Structure formats: structure tokens, C-alpha cells
């Protein structure tokens, strides 16, 4: 229901907690959990396994933080106890707070749950999940990880950075929306995707990541528009196939090259190169089954448009000029 001002009304708090209260118990029992200002120290992750849950803070003054020395995710949406979730978890919202992980030290996964990485926020088989106005940092693995056929996740107006690997990692995810967010200063890519389909990445700032701004592997039919890719070390966007063998020479799965993605009105500033392409003989950009990726009206400042290898295995990316928006 819309208010007179046109904004969507938020559901009212069922309970309001202060630091020291049992957040897990409240999430298990209550639909809308509001957290007051202060630090909520966690010795292990919060698990959100029930549908229709909302966790809302007061803004940056509300912090979910792992206790010193803890090695764990901070929040897990979906079943954390099985490698493959038994069922999806739907209609979950986390908003208006900060999430701080355990930092760069320690193992990448939980010893008793090797399938569960120590990413700060993990979405496993989610449906209609919203993460908005959230700051995420101090991430041992990724800052925000989606996996196990997550569908219709919205990541909006977030600040995500400081991960050991990628800022946002999207694995086996469809119909996602990453909008109006800043993804920055990650050790690997700002955003990485392994089999992302029918999703939108729009109006984001993706900057100062130490490999690529966006790493797009085995991904199809996505729209990436009006983003700023700035000062990413290797490229603004890396279009790639799904890697089958990582030891040199690297080899890809057959016909797994990212295809039919639209890039429009992007701004590429001070990257080593705008677009890199990682096709190979097993996953080329040729044949009637392959639909090239398209670059439309992108703008490049102190950034070459594409690396020389972009056409080594066919026409992976087409481009057309236009007035940047």
C-alpha cells in the first residue's frame, strides 16, 4: 500500500531490541524485528529460515558484528544445516543497518559446514529477498553471496566493500536487481556472477576493486546499464566462460561463454581496459547458438574500450556509439 507521498509503507515493528537482547530468538518468533542503535555482538551467524521476516535497524548506527575471533557468516538467509536447502526461504528483508564480518583471518568456510562460506551475508535458495540501505564490510570471503537457485533478490542502495574475495558473488541466481549501490575496494571483483540470468545491474558505482569491476561468467540475458566502473585494476567488465580446469592452460565448459547481455550507457574511467573477454576453443563466440553481448552508448575516459584478445574466439561483444546519459 502506498502512502500519500508515494513511498511504500513499511510494516510496523513487532518487537524492538537493544544490544544484548537475543536477536536469534526474536527472528525465530517474530515477523518484524527492529534493532535500536548500538552494536549487536554475535558469537555465530543469525539464521533466517522462516518466510516473511524483516530485520530493520535505525541506519549506520545499528551494527550486526561478529565477536572478536569468531569465524562465521554474520547472517544466513535460508537453510544453513544442509548442503542443499530443503526448501526456499521467501519474502525476507534486511534494511537500514550495518553488517560487519570477522575480517580477513581464519578459514574461508565453517569446519563443520564446509559448504557454508564465511561470507558476511549469505542467501541460500532465497525467493523475493531484499537487502537495502545496508553497509557490509569486514568480509572473510564475499561480502554478500547468493547461491542455490536464489531468485528475485533486490540489492538496493547498499555500500559493500573490503572483502577478501568479491564484494557481491552471485551463484546460480536469476531475476536479481542490483541498483543504486556502491561496491568498492574488494580484493577480487566488485561483482562476480557464475550463471546469472535475466537480471539488472543499474545505477551502481563499482570502483577500486583489485581485479574486475564486474566478472560475468556463464551468464545470459542480463541488462547492465548506467553504471560507473572506475579504477578497477584489470577491467571494468570481464566477460567469461565457466572454468572447467583452472591449472594452465585454463579450459572452459562447452558453450558456457556469457552471451546476450546488454551493456548500455556505462561510464568507464581509469580502468586498465573497459571490456576483457575470456572465451576459449570450448566456449567460443561463434555459431548460430551464440548471441553476442552488446555494448551501447558506453563512454570511456582514460580507458581503452577492449583488450586485443576480445575477438580471438569470435565476435563476443558488439558495440554501437551514442550519447552517454
Q: Are 246 and 204 in contact (CB under 8 A)?
A: no
Instruction: Provide mean pLDDT across the span 13-21.
Output: 97
CA distance 154 to 190: 17
pLDDT one-digit tens code per residue, 86-95: 999 999 999 9
Q: How confident is the model at residue 322 (pLDDT cuts 50, 70, 90)?
A: low
pLDDT one-digit tens code per residue, 35-86: 999 999 999 999 999 999 999 999 999 999 999 888 899 999 999 999 999 9
Residue 288 has pLDDT above 90, yes or no: no
Instruction: Provide mean pLDDT across the span 155-180.
Output: 98
Radius of gyration of the chain (CA): 20
Q: Are 176 and 170 in contact (CB under 8 A)?
A: yes
Q: Which domains does the chain have, with CATH numbers?
A: 15-320 (2.160.20.10)
Q: Which of 132-136, 289-293, 307-311 has the lowest mean pLDDT?
A: 307-311
Instruction: Provide mean pLDDT across the span 292-309.
Output: 94
Residue 3 has pLDDT above 50, yes or no: no
CA distance 139 to 190: 13
Residue 8 has pLDDT above 70, yes or no: no
- What pLDDT score does 325 carry? 41
CA distance 93 to 104: 27
Residue 250 has pLDDT above 90, yes or no: no
Helix (H) or strand (E) holding 279: none
- Residues near 24 by beta carbon (within 8 Å), at least 6 away in sequence: 46, 47
Length of the chain: 325
CA distance 123 to 114: 16
pLDDT one-digit tens code per residue, 92-121: 999 999 999 988 888 899 989 999 999 999
Q: Are 265 and 302 in contact (CB under 8 A)?
A: no
Please give the C-alpha separations between residue 100 and each of 33, 163, 213, in angstroms, as whole numbers. 19, 11, 22
Q: How confident is the model at residue 2 (pLDDT cuts 50, 70, 90)?
A: very low
Work out the mean pLDDT of the chain and round it to a whole number.
94
CA distance 36 to 88: 29
Q: How confident is the model at residue 249 (pLDDT cuts 50, 70, 90)?
A: confident
Residue 7 has pLDDT above 80, yes or no: no
Residue 1 has pLDDT above 50, yes or no: no
CA distance 247 to 122: 28
pTM equals: 0.95
Amino acid at each position: 500500500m502506498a502512502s500519500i507521498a508515494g513511498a511504500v509503507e513499511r510494516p510496523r515493528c513487532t518487537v524492538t531490541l537493544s544490544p544484548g537482547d537475543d536477536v536469534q530468538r526474536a527472528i525465530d518468533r517474530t515477523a518484524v524485528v527492529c534493532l535500536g542503535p548500538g552494536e549487536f555482538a554475535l558469537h555465530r551467524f543469525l539464521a533466517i529460515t522462516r518466510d516473511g521476516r524483516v530485520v530493520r535497524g535505525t541506519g549506520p548506527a545499528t551494527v550486526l558484528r561478529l565477536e572478536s575471533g569468531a569465524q562465521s557468516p554474520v547472517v544466513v538467509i535460508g537453510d544453513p544445516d544442509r548442503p542443499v536447502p530443503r526448501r526456499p526461504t521467501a519474502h525476507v528483508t534486511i534494511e537500514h543497518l550495518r553488517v560487519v564480518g570477522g575480517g580477513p583471518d581464519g578459514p574461508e568456510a565453517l569446519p563443520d559446514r564446509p559448504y557454508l562460506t564465511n561470507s558476511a551475508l549469505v542467501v541460500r535458495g532465497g525467493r523475493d529477498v531484499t537487502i537495502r540501505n545496508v553497509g557490509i564490510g569486514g568480509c572473510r570471503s564475499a561480502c554478500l553471496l547468493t547461491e542455490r537457485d536464489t531468485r528475485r533478490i533486490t540489492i538496493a542502495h547498499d555500500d559493500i566493500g573490503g572483502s577478501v574475495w568479491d564484494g557481491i558473488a552471485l551463484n546460480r541466481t536469476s531475476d536479481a536487481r542490483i541498483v543504486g549501490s556502491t561496491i568498492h575496494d574488494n580484493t577480487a571483483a566488485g561483482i562476480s556472477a557464475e550463471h546469472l540470468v535475466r537480471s539488472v545491474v543499474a545505477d551502481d558505482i563499482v570502483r577500486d576493486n583489485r581485479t574486475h569491476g564486474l566478472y560475468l561468467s556463464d551468464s545470459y540475458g542480463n541488462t547492465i546499464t548506467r553504471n560507473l566502473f572506475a579504477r578497477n585494476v584489470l577491467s571494468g567488465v570481464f566477460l567469461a566462460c565457466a572454468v572447467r580446469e583452472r591449472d594452465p592452460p585454463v579450459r572452459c565448459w562447452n558453450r558456457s561463454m556469457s552471451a546476450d547481455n546488454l551493456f548500455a550507457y556505462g561510464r568507464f574511467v581509469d580502468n586498465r581496459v573497459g571490456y576483457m573477454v575470456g572465451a576459449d576453443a570450448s566456449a567460443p563466440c561463434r555459431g548460430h547458438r551464440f548471441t553476442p553481448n552488446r555494448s551501447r552508448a558506453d563512454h570511456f575516459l582514460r580507458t581503452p574500450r577492449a583488450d586485443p584478445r576480445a575477438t580471438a574466439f569470435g565476435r563476443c561483444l558488439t558495440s554501437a556509439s551514442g550519447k552517454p546519459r
